[in-house]
Amino acid sequence: MQNVDKIDNGKNLFQHPEYRDVLANKKQFEGAWGAIDKEKVAEIAEWTTTWDYREKNLAREAITVNPAKACQPLGAVMVALGFENCMPYVHGSHGCVAYFRSYFTRHFKEPTPCVSDSMTEDAAVFGGLTNMKDGLKNCAAVYKPDMIMVSTTCMAEVIGDDLYAFITAAKEEDGGVDLPESFPIPYAHTPSFVGSHITGYDNMMHGTMQQLTEDQKGETKERINIIPGFETYIGSLRAVKTIVEKMGADYIMLGDHSDQWDMPAGEYNMFAGGTKLEDAKDCINSKATISLQKYATPKTMKMVEKRWKQKGSTTCNPIGLKGTDEFIMKLAELTGNEIPKELKVERQRLVDAMQDSYPYMHGKKFAIWGDPDFLIGVVSFLLEMGAEPTHVLCHNAPRGWEDEMRALLDTSPAKDTLNVWAGKDLWHMRSFLFTEPVDFMIGNSYGKELMRDTGTPLIYMGFPIFDRHHLHRYSLSGYEGALNMLTQITNKVLDQLDEETKGIATTDYFFDLIR
Amino acid sequence: MGPESLEAKQKAAIEEVLKAYPAKAAKNRAKHLGVGSPEDESQKTCGNVRSNKKTVPGVMSQRGCAYAGSKGVVWGPVKDMVHISHGPIGCGQYSRAGRRNYYIGTTGVDTFVTMNFSSDFQEKDIVFGGDKKLAVCFEEIDALFPLNNGITVQSECPIGLIGDDINATSKVYAKKTGNTIVPVNCEGFRGVSQSLGHHIANDTVRDYVFDGNVETLGDAIEPTEYDVAIIGDYNIGGDAWSSRILLEEMGLRVTAQWSGDATLKEMAQTPKVKLNLLHCYRSMNYISRHMEKEFGIPWVEYNFFGPSQTYKSLRKIAAFFDEKIQAKCEEVIAKYEPMINAVVDKYKPRLEGKQVMLFVGGLRPRHVIGAYEDLGMEVIGTGYEFAHDDDYKRTKDEIMRSTVIYDDVNEYELEAFVKKLEPDLVASGIKEKYVFQKMGLPYRQMHSWDYSGPYHGFDGFAIFAADMDLAINSPVWGYSKAPWETEGEA
């Protein structure tokens, strides 16, 4: 029973003896194996750690267990929230939108606006035109956005709804009351059964850029476009902007959700920050475009090259020391500006910090998973520190990624022990962690169960992160980001060292005060 | 503020909200908004609102889908079975471990609730169908997770649209192996919310658990006179455990818990109980009615939020049994009453008179009203994401004063109501949480207990009281304005 002076919640309440009895007593009715045959459970648990199990696990062809990817429309919603006063609109059932909003909200601890046109069975039979006509009109009337960005769910894709025709019909029917002819409604088809959330990001960014810039081609301006990609670190967006500004470049960030998912307290406005609509339209006239995530923007960058004909457009991955160096040199090349001393000092401070802490990362084995561009960046940094990325797992690896990662790992002296796992899930990772253990894992919240099962310490990095706070506020990009990663990883190594040496009169001879 | 002026304010708020919509949408939404009045006997549902209708397109509804109702609520928490999210990858990933259905077991070995099994549909599966892949999924699951006690197939949207026959595929495999394989046609586009998913899932329990050949794992349960089942308590943060302890203390034997910390065997053996205890009426009334009709088992709704309702419910339950149970019920109440009184004495002075606006799923919009009132708080607005008319009828018995009732409220409306009626606390879900926190309003998530809890039962009430106190009386709400800003300035 509770004691009013010290009310326990579930964490301690269920340890009270009366609860231990009730929970033990429940087992007689359960029929779960743990209740019937504990030895069998222990035996199977042990078997799941073996090479035999690993081989069976790798032979899987149909079932995915604990994936490390999500579906297209999620990425499309992220694109929309990076533009000023833009409402993401998902053509399909509202269940999906409830999921996208919850998923982002749980990660960022921020509101995530997004509407759907709530398609149900009748729409499945007759198509979603009526929903689109009413939905666009209601959305414009109620939320008064300056732009609505339409993506689709798998439902709309399976029945084959035609977005262009539907949007045109909705505008016609509205007659310009809430949706004037000029009201921008970029759209993209984002079927959930193709690719992953980064594919959806690319499709929506491509659709938006293509549609908004139509008939906007004019004189080329001394300006650079930056496309961040599926970037979940608000701090990274800001760090990149700071670098570009320090380089004295005129720029447009295409899809900047750093204010939208980092709203100040005091009052609530549904939309905050984002790329201005006039900038989005004019970006075709910038001299070049840099995408910070190659694998999240292939279609978009192809358009930049082929249609916009922007020479010098490229991809950079400004994570880690070398990645940031390359990004800055690219900016220098494009702008013709000198790299300011300030950035050089910042770089030297990072190098100094890397030299201070390298012994704790050098030779340590890491398992890491996440999106393809994130992995290229963070693995580069690990290698710069002399660490060994033993298992690099990318569930949503696009074509070409595996080769690029392999080539990167081959630059390590430990290359023969480093593995790339494209298209594998986190249940595969569990097997790898048992059969070829590592010292630390780097990954999102889904690593929590791997941490519990295998005992490998987890360094939280990536997306989604539900159970740790504020990490997304920091940067992973730029020299600042590298310093953040260095701090986070080194101190986790030190935490672990302390953990292993804290045994009183047993291991604490190594429990050093100064490290 | 007198009741008249509050009611006038509430009605004005509804009128104002409706102005933003185009005519067709306004006409629709008007039917779902009302002011509930306990005195007004002409009200058929609370506030005369209509419910369980299609959502207006293009607004930010908080509703989920049939898949969410089946996988997230009814089947997902059954711990010793593997639940396949059948279709593209997203649905399973977004719903993974989002609900705090606590359970005890070795995850990945004999229990599977917080894992995500997906058939990860690719374009070719849409074009050629995914039945063959599903059959392979079954085999792989049994090979890698041999201690699972069954598999369910939770259909996502494309399954019904492309016409896959998951029922036949499941039947073939069930016949071959003798295992319990449950196909659930809970595609997200079915119905208007998660509610239909509950119903569909209930029907599959009826068809595959009661009428199927579910093997008794371990010894069969020998019935006693005092066997009951907890139905529709999903063990959010351990709620069913803090409920179970009270039922057992009053001499009843809880032989099944549906469906938090639930096992297939418990569900299969439920038709042997003497009484079904139904906590979430919306999600599980169907199967409770079925058991009444088919097996003659009576069912009773109960509410374990807050002491007043818990006392009432315990006595209502005891009345189904003999004097021995009734006497023990009084003993249990007497045992906990001093603790409860101490909790109320401690927290009521800090919370008295505070006004609350609620918006949650299926039972809590009415069930928690009493718990707030036990702490001297008032609920001035409430509504459901996916209720039916019978829920709104039941809500009428719970409200004490005029209350804004909003069915399937969307974020625009809820924000407008909150701004107009200025409650001291908003209690709703994750999607709305930060909207109100940005405004500097204390907030609690009433789907997940904001990662605290349990809130059910007497022990749970103490946590509920402490949590509401920390929400309302935290110093952080006072920091929004910088000290150099003068009053009235933004």
* Average pLDDT score over residue span B100-106: 98
User: What pLDDT, in 10s, does the model give residues B402-419?
Assistant: 999 999 999 999 999 999
* Euclidean distance between CA atoms B284 and B292, whole angstroms: 13
β-pairing, B403-406 vs B33-36, is antiparallel
Share of chain B above pLDDT 90, in %: 94
Which DSSP string do the residues of A75-89 spell out, in sequence order? Answer: HHHHHHTTBTTEEEE
Contact across the interface for A158 and B122, Cβ inside 8 Å: no
Task: Please tell me which residue of chain A has the smallest CA distance to B97.
Answer: A446
| Residues of A (273-332) whose Cβ lies below 8 Å from B | none
* Euclidean distance between CA atoms A375 and A230, whole angstroms: 13
Please name which of A366, A371, A404 lies closest in space to residue A382, comparing C-alpha atoms.
Answer: A366
φ/ψ of residue B336, rounded to 5: -90, -20
* Euclidean distance between CA atoms B127 and B122, whole angstroms: 9
Q: Which residues of B touch A266 (CB under 8 A)?
A: 438-440, 480-481, 490
Cβ pair B243, B336 in contact under 8 A: no
Residue labelled with tokens 């032989």: B255
φ/ψ of residue A227, rounded to 5: -110, 115
Q: What is the 3-state secondary structure (H, E, C) of A411-476?
A: CCCCHHHCEEEECCCHHHHHHHHHHCCCCEEEECCCHHHHHHHHCCCEEECCCCCCCCCCHHHCCC
* Euclidean distance between CA atoms B423 and B139, whole angstroms: 54
A475 forms bridges with which residues in the sheet? none
Q: Is residue B64 less than 8 Å (CB to CB) from chain A? A: yes
The pLDDT score that the predictor gives to residue B5 is 82
* Euclidean distance between CA atoms A35 and A41, whole angstroms: 9
* Average pLDDT score over residue span B79-102: 97
Q: Which amino acid is at A454?
A: T
Share of chain A above pLDDT 70, in %: 100
Contact across the interface for A41 and B106, Cβ inside 8 Å: yes
Cβ pair B441, A269 in contact under 8 A: no
**Neighbour count for residue A416 (Cβ, 10 Å):** 9
User: Does residue B489 carry a pLDDT above 60?
Assistant: no
Q: Is residue A266 less than 8 Å (CB to CB) from chain B? A: yes
* Euclidean distance between CA atoms A327 and A271, whole angstroms: 30
Q: Is residue A513 less than 8 Å (CB to CB) from chain B? A: no
* Euclidean distance between CA atoms A463 and A372, whole angstroms: 12
* Average pLDDT score over residue span B131-150: 98
Nearest CA distance, A344 vs chain B (angstrom): 37
Closest to B57 (Cβ–Cβ): which among A63, A117, A191?
A117
Q: Is residue A56 less than 8 Å (CB to CB) from chain B? A: yes
Contact across the interface for A45 and B109, Cβ inside 8 Å: yes
The pLDDT score that the predictor gives to residue B269 is 95
Confidence band, pLDDT 50/70/90 cuts, at residue B490: very low
Q: Which residues of A touch B65 (CB under 8 A)?
A: 93-96, 98
Contact across the interface for B241 and A14, Cβ inside 8 Å: yes
Radius of gyration for chain A, computed over Cα atoms and rounded to the nearest angstrom: 25
Cβ pair A185, A167 in contact under 8 A: yes
Q: Which residues of A touch B256 (CB under 8 A)?
A: 29
| Residues of A (134-173) whose Cβ lies below 8 Å from B | 134-139, 141-143, 153-155, 158-159
Secondary structure (3-state) at A331: helix
Cβ pair A63, B83 in contact under 8 A: no
Task: Indicate the Cα dihedral angle A367, A372, A373, A375, nearest 10°.
Answer: 10
Secondary structure (3-state) at A388: strand
Secondary structure (3-state) at B355: strand
Cβ pair A319, A378 in contact under 8 A: yes
B152 forms bridges with which residues in the sheet? B83, B182
User: What pLDDT, in 10s, does the model give residues B331-353?
Assistant: 999 999 999 999 999 999 999 99
Q: Which two tokens stand for residue A450?
A: 């791997």
The pLDDT score that the predictor gives to residue B486 is 72
Please name which of A421, A445, A422 lies closest in space to residue A433, comparing C-alpha atoms.
Answer: A421
User: What pLDDT, in 10s, does the model give residues A350-373?
Assistant: 999 999 999 999 999 999 999 999
Contact across the interface for A141 and B25, Cβ inside 8 Å: yes
Q: Which residues of B touch A262 (CB under 8 A)?
A: none
Contact across the interface for B59 and A32, Cβ inside 8 Å: no
Chain A to chain B, count of Cβ pairs less than 8 Å apart? 367
* Average pLDDT score over residue span B269-276: 97
Secondary structure (3-state) at B342: helix
Nearest CA distance, A298 vs chain B (angstrom): 20
Closest to B255 (Cβ–Cβ): which among A29, A61, A124?
A29
Share of chain A above pLDDT 90, in %: 100
* Euclidean distance between CA atoms A338 and A321, whole angstroms: 19
* Euclidean distance between CA atoms B485 and A438, whole angstroms: 53
Calculate the average pLDDT of chain A.
97
Contact across the interface for B248 and A25, Cβ inside 8 Å: yes
Contact across the interface for B106 and A96, Cβ inside 8 Å: no
User: What pLDDT, in 10s, does the model give residues A187-239?
Assistant: 999 999 999 999 999 999 999 999 999 999 999 999 999 999 999 999 999 99
B33 forms bridges with which residues in the sheet? B406
Question: Which run of H or of E encompasses A274?
Answer: none
β-pairing, A458-460 vs A440-443, is parallel
Contact across the interface for B64 and A95, Cβ inside 8 Å: yes
Query: Under 8 Å CB-to-CB from A26, ≥6 apart: which residues?
Result: B244, B254, B257, B261
- Among A159-168, A348-357, B218-227, the minimum mean pLDDT is found in B218-227
User: Does residue B6 carry a pLDDT above 90?
Assistant: no
Closest to B115 (Cβ–Cβ): which among A26, A65, A71?
A65
- Taking the alpha carbons at both ends of chain B, their separation in whole angstroms is 27
Q: Which two tokens stand for residue B450?
A: 């904001």
Nearest CA distance, A99 vs chain B (angstrom): 6
Please name which of A200, A206, A258 lies closest in space to residue A69, comparing C-alpha atoms.
Answer: A200
Closest to A158 (Cβ–Cβ): which among B55, B62, B126?
B126
The pLDDT score that the predictor gives to residue B214 is 76
Q: Is residue B26 less than 8 Å (CB to CB) from chain A? A: no
Q: For residue B225, what are the CA distances in angstroms to B222, B228, B321, B485? A: 10, 9, 9, 68
Q: Is residue B431 less than 8 Å (CB to CB) from chain A? A: yes
* Average pLDDT score over residue span A87-104: 97
Q: Is residue B438 less than 8 Å (CB to CB) from chain A? A: yes
Nearest CA distance, B2 vs chain A (angstrom): 29
Largest CA distance in chain A: 82
Q: Which two tokens stand for residue A506?
A: 């047993």
Q: Which residues of A touch B18 (CB under 8 A)?
A: none
Would you say the pTM of this structure is higher than 0.90?
yes
What is the set of active-site residues of B? 65, 68, 99, 198
Residue labelled with tokens 């906990």: B336
User: What pLDDT, in 10s, does the model give residues B14-47?
Assistant: 999 999 999 999 999 999 999 999 999 999 999 9
Query: Under 8 Å CB-to-CB from A138, ≥6 apart: which residues?
Result: B21, B22, B25, B56, B57, B58, B59
- Taking the alpha carbons at both ends of chain A, their separation in whole angstroms is 46
* Euclidean distance between CA atoms B217 and B220, whole angstroms: 8
- Cis amide bond preceding A437, omega within 30: no
Q: Is residue A448 less than 8 Å (CB to CB) from chain B? A: no
Which bin fits A344, alpha (ψ -120 to 50), beta or left (φ > 0)? Answer: alpha
C-alpha angle A390-B117-B239 in degrees, rounded to nearest 5: 110
Q: Which residues of A touch B146 (CB under 8 A)?
A: 44
User: What pLDDT, in 10s, does the model give residues A422-462?
Assistant: 999 999 999 999 999 999 999 999 999 999 999 999 999 99
CA count, 13 A, side-chain hemisphere, A186 = 26
User: Does residue B213 carry a pLDDT above 80?
Assistant: no
Closest to B434 (Cβ–Cβ): which among A61, A110, A123?
A110
Cβ pair B287, B271 in contact under 8 A: no
DSSP, res A509: G
Cβ pair B462, B339 in contact under 8 A: yes
Nearest CA distance, B17 vs chain A (angstrom): 10
Q: Which two tokens stand for residue A25?
A: 């007593």
Q: Which residues of B touch A69 (CB under 8 A)?
A: 89, 93
Please name which of A225, A215, A233, A237 lies closest in space to residue A280, comparing C-alpha atoms.
Answer: A225
Per-residue burial over A228-238, b = 16 or more CB atoms within 10 Å of its CB, e = otherwise? bbbbbbbbbbb
Query: Under 8 Å CB-to-CB from B482, ≥6 apart: which residues?
Result: none
Residue labelled with tokens 């629709």: B28
Query: Under 8 Å CB-to-CB from B303, ≥6 apart: which residues?
Result: B279, B309, B310, B312, B313, B367, B370
Q: B interface mutation test: which of A8, A23, A30 has the most B CBs within 10 A? A: A30
β-pairing, B275-278 vs B299-301, is parallel
The pLDDT score that the predictor gives to residue B316 is 98
Q: Is residue A99 less than 8 Å (CB to CB) from chain B? A: yes
